[in-house]
Amino acid sequence: MTPLSLPLTTFEEYLLWEDRLSYPWSCFARLQFTGQIDRKALETALRAVMPRHPLLASRLERRGGRPFWNVQPGAMPQIEWLAGPTGGALPAAGRQDLREEIGLRLFVTENGASCDVTLQFHHACCDGAGIEVFVNDLLIAYALARSAAPSRLRLPKLDSGRLARRGTYGLTCRKLLTILPRQVRGLWGAGQFFARSPAPLLPHRALPDDDPPPNGYPATCTHVFTREESAAFHKAARRLNVTSNDLLIRDVFVALAQWRVRHGAGDDGAWLRMMVPMNLRSRADRLLPAANGVGSVFLDRRGRDFADPGQLLAGIARELQFIKDRELGLIFIYTLNLLGLIPGGLRINARRDQCTVSSIFSNIGMPLRRCPLPRENGRLVAGDVVLEQIDGTVPIRPYNCVSFLVNDYAHRLSVMLHYDPRQVSEIQADDLAATFARCVRATAAANF
């Protein structure tokens, strides 16, 4: 049974401090369908799944200075029904104020034979993996509401009682004693994090916290690769004995370096720092509802590192494997927990007026690969609609300029750039997406 009030984890509280009017801390997921969403069935599906995800049905309150999630029984997200083109820019959305509303909104854009369902999540409520759990539920519930589902289809089992332990990351005293010796070497990386001063992708000053969000927030552009390009890219990763994620990160770094030079920001001595989220859920969390169980690792590279793409790839692969082997994604959580012991520590760290991260890269892999709905040519069929494509965004913070979200759905890689139009023009954003696409195609076509 889910308690009606849950204290925030230290990481969730940190994400609240990251959220500000000028840089909203929302994630977006867009589902592009062939066919039209039935309004009544969507509302029925939401009524079925919202109680299964208490953090998405909660508002924020403070007691004695400490933040709590106050679950709102029967809460339903706001749905905005729109008419217009699909598959282009995301709908304009404002900042989510968790003191006044729950952490989920929906936008449905209808256009003849197609429609987009865009979901806006406050990042303090859930991460990419949590969004996938919720979307999986929503698609199944919609198919059931349309009475067009396989006879044995049911919503998967979830255990909302696990939310009370969501901030433990599966760590017991025994596991801590086992992994801490392996993590000592990770302290060197933590030292480098604080010793280096990364540069923004384009020189600028961050806007004050209380400035309004950029017009048309969120500003995005998308590139979808063909099935043939996607298959060739994965084949290249296998030939090179690295993961596709390693290869994507290398190509993002190369694209950023080329793009910065082209736009007059190249500096061989400047560090570019990429933040890469890492899912910290344990096997015991497989029944966890939508929540935030992510940590972060940071990859630093500078001008001379981009001269040899092969060496750049080898270094990234080694570093990420080292991080995985020693579970160093937890180092960021440890650091926040220590800061949380200092009055005002989380706020001061989150609101520093300096560049701490140049860009964010998130790869959600193959979303909904375990969804039990039938498929048509690799695409999920939910009742009377076919899910053609998935994309979305991760937030941008001060001095970021741009973040990347990559996924591989229906055998096609896609990337969505979320950019700050106050610092990066639409032409520059399109140029960066095209530069990354050229890098990926070159990788896929190379003879090794």
| Residue pLDDT, tens place only, 93-116 | 999 999 999 999 999 999 989 999
* b/e per residue 265-296 (b: at least 16 CB within 10 A): beeeebbbbbbbbbbbbeeebeebbbbbbbbb
122, 110 Cβ separation under 8 angstroms = no
Query: Domains (ranges, CATH) in the chain?
Result: 5-445 (3.30.559.30)
100, 119 Cβ separation under 8 angstroms = no
| Residue pLDDT, tens place only, 174-190 | 766 677 666 676 666 66
Pick the residue with more confidence: 4 or 7?
A: 7
> What is the Cα–Cα distance from 442 to 421, expressed in whole angstroms?
28
Confidence of residue 292 (pLDDT cuts 50, 70, 90): very high
| Residue pLDDT, tens place only, 11-33 | 999 999 999 999 999 999 999 99
Residue 147 has what pLDDT?
82
* Average pLDDT for the chain: 92
Residue 283 has what pLDDT?
84
Residue 447 has what pLDDT?
58
> What is the Cα–Cα distance from 407 to 413, expressed in whole angstroms?
6
Least confidently predicted of 163-172, 217-226, 326-335: 163-172
Residue 126 has what pLDDT?
95
DSSP track, 32-71: EEES---HHHHHHHHHHHGGG-GGGGEEEEEETTEEEEEE
| Residue pLDDT, tens place only, 211-261 | 999 999 999 999 999 999 999 999 999 999 999 999 999 999 999 999 999
Beta-bridged to residue 144, according to DSSP, are none
Least confidently predicted of 180-194, 263-277, 374-388, 424-438: 180-194
Residue 51 has what pLDDT?
97
Task: Look at residues 393, 391, 367, 362 and name the one whose alpha carbon lies nearest to residue 378.
Answer: 367
> What is the Cα–Cα distance from 56 to 12, expressed in whole angstroms?
13
Residue 180 has what pLDDT?
67
9, 67 Cβ separation under 8 angstroms = no
Pick the residue with more confidence: 151 or 292?
A: 292
